[in-house]
Amino acid sequence: MSTDNTLLPSSPTKSSPTRTAGGSFKCPVRVSTPIKTSQNRISKTINGLVDKPSNRSLSLQYNELRRQIREKEKENDQMRDAIRILNKYDKDLQIEELIVKWRCVCQGSLSFLFNETLFKVDKLGGYEEFIRKEVDAEKARLEYQMDNSMEEEFSTLVESDEFQSLPPDDQEEYRARMEEQRHEAEILMEKSLKQLDKKISEASGKEMTLEELTKRLNVSYELVYPRED
Q: In the predicted model, what is the mean pLDDT of the chain?
A: 77
| 59 in a structural domain | no
| 223 in a structural domain | no
Q: What is the mean pLDDT of residues 100-119?
A: 93
> Would you say residue 31 has pLDDT above 70?
no
- Structurally, how many domains does the chain consist of? 1
| 134 in a structural domain | yes
Give the structural domain span for 145: 127-206
| 54 in a structural domain | no
| 226 in a structural domain | no
pLDDT at position 73 is 87
| 107 in a structural domain | no
Task: List, for residues 193-221, the tens digit of each pLDDT value.
Answer: 888 888 888 888 889 999 999 999 999 99
What one-character-per-residue DSSP string does the chain give? -----PPPP----PPPPPPPTTSPP-PPPP-HHHHHHHHHHHHHHHHHHHHHHHHHHHHHHHHHHHHHHHHHHHHHHHHHHHHHHHHHHHHHHHHHHHHHHHHHHHHHHHHHHHHHHHHHHHHHTSHHHHHHHHHHHHHHHHHHHHHHHHHHHHHHHHHSHHHHTS-HHHHHHHHHHHHHHHHHHHHHHHHHHHHHHHHHHHTTT----HHHHHHHTT--HHHHSPPP-
Task: List, for residues 164-177, the tens digit of each pLDDT value.
Answer: 888 888 888 888 88
| 202 in a structural domain | yes
